[in-house]
Amino acid sequence: MPSGIAKAPIFGTTTFTYMAQQKKLVYVVDDDPMQVQMMSDHLIEKFGFDVRGFSTGEEAVNNLTNHPDIVVLDYYLNSVKAEARNGAEILRFIKKEFPNIQVIMVSGQDSMEVAVDTMTYGAADYVVKGDNQFVRLQHAVEKLFVNERLHERVNYYRSLSTISIVAVVLIIVLTVVLAAMGVI
């Protein structure tokens, strides 16, 4: 995900403070315009994202070169266009070609099989449509930020430990050289 400063959320609440140096770009893909509108409105209201809606996975895929940070992807995308590719196929394509894009799958079906499938193909989370979907979508996005922060911290400490090792080695070499020269 591109640079941004996200404060870690307080677990168990919906309170989340998000600050971004650059607005994150989010694609919402659903064949139901009402779903696109409601999820987009919610993400804009809660996070201030730059959100773009698409009614098919193909349209979203054709715009992936804009490098969205997150794609919110419906599992079933063929209620309007019967020949439209389903969300699982689109997910596999995205994760193969753009592995850094985080995908949150959304489905009206509370099915363990669908959930396992989508997670296996690399989805970051799975949200079931219904009255709670917007809160759950919000939590899924917050979880992505937490993971992003953890990843940044791991990288930071990894860099720090590398620098420390190099410094210790330099001190040892310097000590040996100075000792050999009789300076110490």
Q: Does 33 bind another protein (CB under 8 A)?
A: yes
Of 31, 69, 125, 142, the one binding another protein (CB under 8 A) is 31
The H or E element spanning position 144 is helix 133-180
Q: Does 32 bind another protein (CB under 8 A)?
A: yes
* Least distance to another protein, CB of residue 35, Å: 7
Give the amino acid at 77. L
With 0-12 CB in 10 A as exposed, 13-18 as middle and 19+ as buried, what is 57?
buried
Q: Name the 3-class secondary structure at 5.
A: strand
Q: Does 34 bind another protein (CB under 8 A)?
A: yes
What is the maximum alpha-carbon separation in the chain? Answer: 84
Q: Does 82 bind another protein (CB under 8 A)?
A: yes
Q: Does 122 bind another protein (CB under 8 A)?
A: no
Q: Does 110 bind another protein (CB under 8 A)?
A: no
* Least distance to another protein, CB of residue 127, Å: 11
How many other CB atoms are found less than 10 A from the CB of residue 34? Answer: 8
